[in-house]
C-alpha cells in the first residue's frame, strides 16, 4: 500500500522547527509501529524533537496516537478505586516496592505497570526479578485477579498496551534522546492513561541523578504530564523530588529489594520512608481517602503482609535468599569532616558499569551488582572510613566504576544545609 506521508519530510519539519499536523503525528506513530519508519529515521525525528520541542497540541496528539496504537484497560469491574504512581527515574529509587503494597492496605487497588532500567537509572522490574521465581509478565486476566485478591500488582505492561511506546522507549535509551520533555511526557502518560487508572501521582525527579537536571525543566515536565492527565480525565498530581543524592543506601537490584523489605519491616533509611509515605498520602487522597495513615501501616506490619502476598502471587518466594555479588571493593573517605555532597549521577553510572544496568536494550543485568553506601550528606566521616562498596560478579568492571565515582563525595570541614527531599507539588 502507498503511505500518506514521507518520513523524510516529517523529520525535516521538526528539524526546521516546524509544527507537525495531527494527521502527520497519527501517521508517524502508526507507521513506526508497523515498521514502515526505520529505527534510524525515528532516531533522527526523536533528536529533532529533543532539540526543537513540541507545542501543547503536538504533545497531546502524540500521546493520543501512542494510546491508539494498542488496547485500553478498564478496572471499573473491581469495585474499588485505583491509584498509581510513576517516577521519572533516579538512583536508588526503589519506592514502588514498598509503596504499592502500602497503598493497597487501605482498599485502594494499585495497578503498577513498571519498566526496565533506562541508562543510569534502575528499573523496577529488574529489581524485582532478583527475587527467585518472581515474574514480571502477567496476562490482563492475571493482573485483574491479583488486583481483586491482593490489591496490588507490579508487572510489565502487556504487549497490547501502547506498543508504539515500547519501541520508542528502547530506541530513546540508546540514542541519547531520553531527556526530551515531549517524549518523556507522552511515553509516561500514554501508558498510564491506557492502563486505565482512576488517579495518578507523579514523582518527578530533579537533580544530577535525574533526567531533569534543573527545577525549571522538572516543573515543565510535571506540568505537561499533569495537563495530559487532566485532559484525559485522570486525576493527576505531581511532586518534584530531589535526586541530587541517591535515595536510601543502595543502588542496584537485589540490594534495593533488601532495603525495600527493611522499610516494609518498619525500618530502612529515613529518606526512603519519607518519600514512600508522602506518595502514599497523595495516592490515597486522590483515591478518596485523605485521612488514611500510611506511616502506621508501615510500622505495624500490614504493608509487609500485602508485600508477601503480592510477591507470592507472581511466583516469587518472599523468604528466598537474594543473589549476592561475588566481588566487592570499598571506597574510603579521603579526609576527616562532613560529607556535604554525594553525586547521584556518579553513583548511578558506577552501578550501571558494575552490571546493574544495561548499555544496550538486549543486555542482561546482574542481580547482585550495584553500590552500597555507608554515609549520606550531613554525616560526619573520618579519613579511611568506608564511604561506599562496589559490588559485581565481574571484577574487570571495577576500574570504570571507580572512575565514575571519583570526586562524587565532597567532604568539607563543616556541614552545609541539606536540601529538602520534596521540593514542590503541582496539581
- Catalytic sites, residue numbers: 86, 165, 172, 187, 191
**Which residue reads 518519600 in cell numbers?**
275
Distances from the Cα of 233 to the Cα of 192, 204, 236, 243, angstroms: 12, 20, 9, 29
Distances from the Cα of 407 to the Cα of 91, 257, 333, 339, 341, angstroms: 17, 28, 11, 12, 10
Instruction: Tell me the C-alpha distance between 225 and 184, whole Å.
Output: 9
Instruction: Tell me the C-alpha distance between 160 and 183, whole Å.
Output: 20
DSSP 177-214: -TT-HHHHHHHHHHHHHHHT-SEEEEEEEESTTSS--S
Cβ atoms < 10 Å from Cβ of 362:
8
Instruction: Tell me the C-alpha distance between 204 and 206, whole Å.
Output: 7
| Nearest CA among 192, 7, 180, 171 for reference residue 82 | 192
Instruction: Tell me the C-alpha distance between 103 and 89, whole Å.
Output: 20
Cβ atoms < 10 Å from Cβ of 79:
8
Give 82's strand partners: 109
Distances from the Cα of 144 to the Cα of 25, 78, 150, 283, angstroms: 33, 8, 10, 19
Amino acid at each position: 500500500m502507498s503511505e500518506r506521508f514521507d518520513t523524510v519530510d516529517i523529520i525535516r519539519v521538526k528539524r526546521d522547527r516546524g509544527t507537525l499536523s495531527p494527521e502527520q503525528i497519527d501517521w508517524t506513530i502508526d507507521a513506526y509501529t508497523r515498521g514502515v519508519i526505520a529505527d534510524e529515521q525515528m532516531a533522527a525525528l526523536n533528536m529533532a524533537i529533543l532539540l526543537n520541542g513540541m507545542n501543547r497540541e503536538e504533545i497531546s496528539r502524540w500521546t493520543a496516537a501512542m494510546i491508539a496504537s494498542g488496547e485500553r484497560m478498564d478496572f471499573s469491574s473491581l469495585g474499588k478505586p485505583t491509584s498509581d504512581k510513576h517516577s521519572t527515574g533516579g538512583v536508588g529509587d526503589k519506592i514502588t516496592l514498598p509503596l504499592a503494597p502500602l497503598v493497597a492496605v487501605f482498599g485502594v487497588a494499585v495497578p503498577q505497570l513498571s519498566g526496565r532500567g533506562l541508562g543510569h537509572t534502575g528499573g523496577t522490574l529488574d529489581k524485582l526479578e532478583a527475587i527467585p521465581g518472581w515474574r514480571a509478565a502477567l496476562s490482563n486476566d492475571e493482573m485483574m485477579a491479583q488486583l481483586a485478591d491482593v490489591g496490588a500488582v507490579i508487572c510489565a505492561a502487556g504487549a497490547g498496551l501502547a506498543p508504539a511506546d515500547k519501541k520508542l522507549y528502547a530506541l530513546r535509551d540508546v540514542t541519547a534522546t531520553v531527556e526530551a520533555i515531549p517524549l518523556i511526557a507522552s511515553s509516561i502518560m500514554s501508558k498510564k492513561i491506557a492502563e486505565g487508572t482512576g488517579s495518578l501521582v507523579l514523582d518527578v525527579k530533579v537533580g544530577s541523578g535525574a533526567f531533569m537536571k534543573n527545577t525549571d525543566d522538572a516543573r515543565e515536565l510535571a506540568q505537561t504530564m499533569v495537563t495530559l492527565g487532566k485532559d484525559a480525565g485522570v486525576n493527576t498530581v505531581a511532586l518534584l523530588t530531589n535526586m541530587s543524592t541517591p535515595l536510601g543506601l543502595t543502588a542496584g537490584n537485589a540490594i534495593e529489594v533488601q532495603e525495600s523489605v527493611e522499610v516494609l519491616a518498619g525500618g530502612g533509611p529515613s529518606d526512603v520512608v519519607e518519600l514512600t509515605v508522602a506518595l502514599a498520602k497523595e495516592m490515597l487522597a486522590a483515591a478518596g481517602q485523605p485521612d488514611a495513615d500510611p506511616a502506621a501501616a508501615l510500622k505495624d506490619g500490614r504493608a509487609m503482609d500485602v508485600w508477601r502476598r503480592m510477591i507470592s502471587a507472581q511466583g516469587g518466594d518472599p523468604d528466598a535468599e537474594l543473589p549476592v555479588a561475588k566481588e566487592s571493593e570499598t571506597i574510603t573517605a579521603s579526609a576527616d569532616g562532613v560529607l556535604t555532597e554525594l553525586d547521584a549521577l556518579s553513583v548511578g553510572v558506577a552501578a550501571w558499569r558494575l552490571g546493574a544496568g544495561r548499555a544496550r536494550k538486549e543486555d542482561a543485568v546482574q542481580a547482585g551488582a550495584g553500590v552500597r553506601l555507608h554515609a549520606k550528606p550531613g554525616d560526619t566521616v573520618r579519613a579511611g572510613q568506608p564511604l561506599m562498596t562496589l559490588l559485581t560478579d565481574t571484577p574487570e568492571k571495577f576500574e570504570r566504576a571507580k572512575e565514575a565515582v571519583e570526586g562524587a563525595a565532597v567532604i568539607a570541614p563543616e556541614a552545609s544545609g541539606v536540601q529538602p527531599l520534596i521540593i514542590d507539588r503541582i496539581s
